[in-house]
């Protein structure tokens, strides 16, 4: 049986969600998305609206990829602004999916937890299927579930830093306390090993953009991330050995022959 991931009732074979920004050209972006095997791609109304002439070529490439679109509210600093942009995106991209971003701090682009919950509540009441980009705060995650979110996207570290999972303990607690909830690590992933670690913690998917788009060879890096995500998922499903404080020999001594030198 295929190990699929489900988001709001839709099933996907790939657990790699990929962003469409920052690439040197639409063609490079398309090659990277194809190499990633991703079936979900994030798009921003602010940066790449298809009705704008400058975004026409980009939009043509997006459509040819055949991926499920996940519009985002990147750049919004208030709940009202995010809701308005989400509603515009629904009309333009013809989807009720939205990656909800409400930024609270301009320096590290940390989500505003209060604005995020307010916007999520409003959008869910309006029929949206919300994918909230949030911090690794368990209480915030629970509040987002309370207002109706069915998927959570906690960060690994601030957007674009490439620092990987800065707080594995917090991410582990979210996974353990919220069993059965689809969880996606979003932001801060810089290396394939970071994505593998997220999957080994039991997360359902990884979303990233910068690490692929700004690589010297985006398509090759996308392929590397694809393999790392698959490896991490397999490692999680296999079940890892527990950590120990003391060494344990991998070769047992019981029943082994004892050799000694006969000095005659």
Distance CA(47)–CA(58), nearest Å, equals: 10
Of 99, 129, 143, 226, the active-site residue reads: 99
> What sign for the dihedral angle of Cα 53, 54, 55, 57?
positive
Distance CA(156)–CA(203), nearest Å, equals: 11
195 annotated to bind ligand:
no
- Classify the phi-psi angles of 127: left when phi > 0, otherwise alpha if psi is within -120 to 50, otherwise beta: left
Q: For the beta carbon of residue 173, count every other beta carbon within 10 angstroms.
A: 15
210 annotated to bind ligand:
yes
- Alpha carbon of residue 263 to chain centroid: 67
Residues in the chain: 264
49 annotated to bind ligand:
no
Burial class (CB in 10 A: 0-12, 13-18, 19+), 57: middle
Q: β-strands 10-12, 5-7: how paired?
A: antiparallel
| Residue 80 appears among annotated catalytic residues | no
**What residues contact 173, with CB distance under 8 A and at least 6 apart?**
138
Known binding residues are: 160, 187-188, 209-210
Q: Which residues are catalytic?
A: 99
Going by the annotation, the residues of the binding site for 1-deoxy-D-xylulose 5-phosphate are 160, 187-188, 209-210
């Amino acid at each position: 049986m295929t190990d699929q991931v489900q988001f709001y009732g839709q099933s996907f074979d790939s657990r790699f969600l990929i962003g469409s920004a920052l690439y040197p050209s639409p063609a490079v972006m398309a090659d990277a998305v194809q190499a990633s095997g991703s079936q979900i791609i994030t798009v921003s109304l602010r940066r790449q609206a298809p009705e704008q002439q400058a975004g026409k070529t980009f939009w043509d490439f997006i459509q040819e990829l055949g991926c499920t679109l996940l519009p985002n509210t990147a750049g919004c600093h208030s709940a009202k602004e995010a809701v308005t942009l989400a509603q515009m995106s629904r009309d333009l991209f013809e989807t009720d999916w939205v990656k909800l971003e409400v930024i609270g701090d301009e320096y590290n682009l940390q989500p505003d937890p209060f604005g995020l919950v307010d916007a999520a509540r409003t959008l869910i009441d309006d029929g949206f299927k919300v994918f909230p980009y949030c911090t690794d705060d368990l209480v915030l995650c629970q509040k987002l579930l309370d207002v109706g979110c069915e998927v959570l996207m906690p960060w690994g570290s601030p957007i674009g830093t490439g620092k990987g999972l800065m707080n594995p303990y917090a991410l582990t607690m979210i996974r353990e306390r919220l069993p059965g909830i689809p969880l996606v690590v979003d932001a801060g992933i810089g290396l394939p090993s970071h994505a593998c670690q997220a999957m080994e913690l039991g997360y359902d998917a990884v979303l990233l953009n910068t690490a692929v788009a700004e690589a010297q060879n985006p398509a090759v890096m996308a392929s590397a991330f694809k393999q790392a995500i698959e490896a991490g998922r397999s490692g999680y499903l296999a079940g890892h050995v527990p950590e120990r404080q003391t060494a344990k020999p991998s070769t047992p001594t019981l029943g082994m022959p004892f050799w000694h030198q006969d000095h005659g």
